[in-house]
């Protein structure tokens, strides 16, 4: 098992891509710590992980709230005594064109997608630096690389997350903490299910592999990035997008 006896925190891990990462890590022997705001989905995913014979701790935590993040990290340490892996996966969209975008929608998306990742990485990096060991994976997006009309807030948050990834990779490398980002393309989840059909068919035309990705495609890359197979890789942004951005 690739992650035997490791402890991983996954934000937004109750459903979608985060849930799939949790299940893939658990199958590899990892204890799972999920924080999310979706109480029902948290309970359901916890059951699935425990059915695999792994420990699972959950917390209803809003990643934009520093006090909630800090106390959850402390609870994780109290229970497991270490944190090997952080996956900053929690993310939201509030799409509209720039001229119609409210300040509230800008703040909400930047808050969860960028500030949330900053708060979690800051709290966890203190632990990982002391341990002289750790791996952080940030869930960016190809939209943070190429932009997208109607997603100014989302694109800015994911572009910022890529810059954050590279910066903290440089700060933490000497302490044996590796930090990388995944930039998924168009993945089949609830987030993309709510897109209008005309937007979906336009996006499909731009994918050389002519199909959507799955949460499992993303989770397998996350597994590689937190495993020893990627021991000399840090500060990178890797796309999982069927060739959309190349
Ligand atoms: P989902 O919306 O399916 O799941 C996101 C989870 O995060 C939900 O459980 C959600 O709770 C939770 N969440 C929302 N806000 C917070 C918060 N403040 N604190 C803690 N948890 C929160 O998203 P996906 O699985 O589709 O996406 C996961 C990540 O991957 C995101 O960062 C997204 O931007 C990124 N991504 C996704 C792509 C895709 O095609 N799906 C493409 C590129 C990137 P609730 O259920 O209440 O909303």
- The 10s digit of each residue's pLDDT in 203-233 is 899 999 999 999 999 999 999 999 999 999 9
Question: Would the pLDDT of 98 be above 90?
Answer: yes
Looking at residue 183, its pLDDT comes to: 98
Looking at residue 203, its pLDDT comes to: 85
246 is a domain residue: no
Instruction: State which residues form the domain around 63.
Output: 7-240
Average pLDDT over every residue of 5-12 = 98
The rounded distance, in Å, linking the Cα atoms of 100 and 96 is 6
245 is a domain residue: no
pTM: 0.98
234 lines ligand 1 (CB under 6 A): no
216 is a domain residue: yes
- Number of domains within the chain: 1
1 is a domain residue: no
Q: Are 137 and 181 in contact (CB under 8 A)?
A: yes
Which residue owns the Cα nearest ligand 1 atom 47? Answer: 38
> Which residues neighbour 168 within 8 Å (Cβ) at sequence distance 6 or greater?
121, 125, 136, 179
Choice among 153, 154, 240, 241 that is catalytic: 154
Q: How confident is the model at residue 192 (pLDDT cuts 50, 70, 90)?
A: confident
2 is a domain residue: no
Looking at residue 190, its pLDDT comes to: 84
Q: How confident is the model at residue 165 (pLDDT cuts 50, 70, 90)?
A: very high
Average pLDDT over every residue of 112-141 = 98
Residue 174 Cα to ligand 1 midpoint, Å, equals 31
Looking at residue 196, its pLDDT comes to: 84
Question: Would the pLDDT of 191 be above 90?
Answer: no
Task: Report the residue among 9, 10, 11, 12 best suited for mutation to probe ligand 1: largest number of ligand atoms under 8 A from its CB.
Answer: 12
- The 10s digit of each residue's pLDDT in 27-49 is 999 999 999 999 999 999 999 99
Q: Let me know the angle formed at the C-alpha of 214 by 210 and 219, rounded to the nearest 5 degrees.
A: 135
228 lines ligand 1 (CB under 6 A): no
63 is a domain residue: yes
Task: Report the residue among 11, 16, 213, 217 best suited for mutation to probe ligand 1: largest number of ligand atoms under 8 A from its CB.
Answer: 16
Q: Examine the residue annotation and report whether 154 is marked as an active-site residue of this protein.
A: yes
20 lines ligand 1 (CB under 6 A): no
89 is a domain residue: yes
15 lines ligand 1 (CB under 6 A): yes
Looking at residue 27, its pLDDT comes to: 98
Q: What CATH code is carried by the domain that includes residue 25? A: 3.40.50.720
In the chain, % of residues over pLDDT 70: 100
159 is a domain residue: yes
Looking at residue 92, its pLDDT comes to: 97
Average pLDDT over every residue of 57-85 = 98
CA-wise closest residue to 76 among 129, 134, 34, 137: 34
């Amino acid at each position: 098992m690739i992650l035997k006896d490791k402890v991983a925190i996954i934000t937004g891990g109750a459903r979608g891509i985060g849930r799939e990462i949790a299940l893939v890590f658990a199958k590899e022997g990892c204890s799972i710590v999920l924080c999310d705001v979706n109480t029902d989905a948290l309970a359901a995913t916890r059951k699935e992980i425990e059915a695999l014979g792994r420990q699972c701790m959950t917390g209803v935590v809003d990643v934009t709230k520093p006090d909630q993040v800090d106390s959850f990290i402390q609870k994780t340490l109290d229970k497991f005594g270490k944190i090997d892996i952080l996956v900053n996966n929690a993310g939201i969209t509030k799409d509209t064109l720039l001229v119609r975008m409210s300040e509230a929608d800008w703040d909400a998306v930047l808050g969860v997608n960028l500030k949330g990742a900053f708060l979690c990485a800051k709290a966890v990096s203190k632990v990982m630096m002391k341990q002289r060991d750790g791996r952080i994976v940030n869930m960016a997006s190809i939209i943070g690389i190429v932009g997208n009309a109607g997603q100014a807030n989302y694109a800015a948050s994911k572009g910022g997350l890529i810059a954050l990834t590279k910066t903290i990779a440089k700060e933490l490398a000497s302490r044996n903490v590796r930090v990388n980002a995944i930039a998924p393309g168009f993945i089949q989840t609830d987030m993309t299910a709510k897109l209008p059909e005309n937007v979906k068919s336009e996006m499909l035309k731009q994918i050389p592999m002519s199909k959507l990705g799955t949460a499992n495609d993303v989770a397998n890359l996350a597994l590689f990035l937190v495993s020893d197979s990627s021991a000399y890789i840090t500060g990178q942004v890797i796309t999982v997008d069927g060739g959309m951005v190349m």
